[in-house]
Amino acid sequence: MLDLIRERRSIRAYEPRQITDEELRAVLEAGTYAPTGHGLQDPYIVAVQNPEMCDRLRRFNATFSASGPDHDPFYGAPTIVLVFAPKPEQNPNGFANGTLVLGTMMLAAHAIGLGSCWINREREMFATPEGEAIMAQLGLPQGLMGVGALALGYAAAPPKPAKPRKPDYYRIIK
């Protein structure tokens, strides 16, 4: 596990071929085992492989990106995994729970040979009327917020090695 943590890198270029159903289920199931406050299991995980919906999510996310509307914020990944959680007024731990789901799925993806990259702006996207309409189309209940997303697929190139860790990253107080 420690080697997986050290080796995992964000992938920003993907092969166009779709991942297998078995690989997708393995990543999603891993996400369901992420810790959640009080064991509530309150995040929602939605994997999108439908090309039209993926394109819609790409265009929508790009409108919130500093890179501009012509940039693919999901780097060509054939699968987009969205994570939602209850809004803070319903559960103050919801956002933290959702981030743990995303991180767990990233490690699981790496463990089975898939690439992933955490994608931001879902909080802003799904707080809009268009975002709420997409959530309804995805069959989600009201009262959720976007936490983040994963670009998921086969890496088009090997990842770069990890940057050296800064020497004062952590401290031990005894």
Q: Under CATH, domain 7-153 is a member of which superfamily?
A: NADH Oxidase (3.40.109.10)
In this prediction, residues 69-92 reach a mean pLDDT of 95
Share of the chain above pLDDT 90, in %: 94
User: What is the pLDDT confidence band of residue 66, given thresholds at 50, 70 and 90?
Assistant: confident
| Dist CA 126 CA 60 (whole Å) | 10
For residue 65, pLDDT over 90 is answered with: no
- The tens digit of pLDDT for each residue in 11-37 reads 999 999 999 999 999 999 999 999 999
For the chain, how big is the Rg over CA atoms in Å? Answer: 16
d(CA 144, CA 21): 27
Q: Flag whether pLDDT at 149 surpasses 90.
A: yes
Q: With the CA atoms of 60, 62, 66 and 69 taken in that order, what torsion angle do they form, in degrees rounded to the nearest 10?
A: -110
Q: Output the pLDDT for position 106.
A: 98
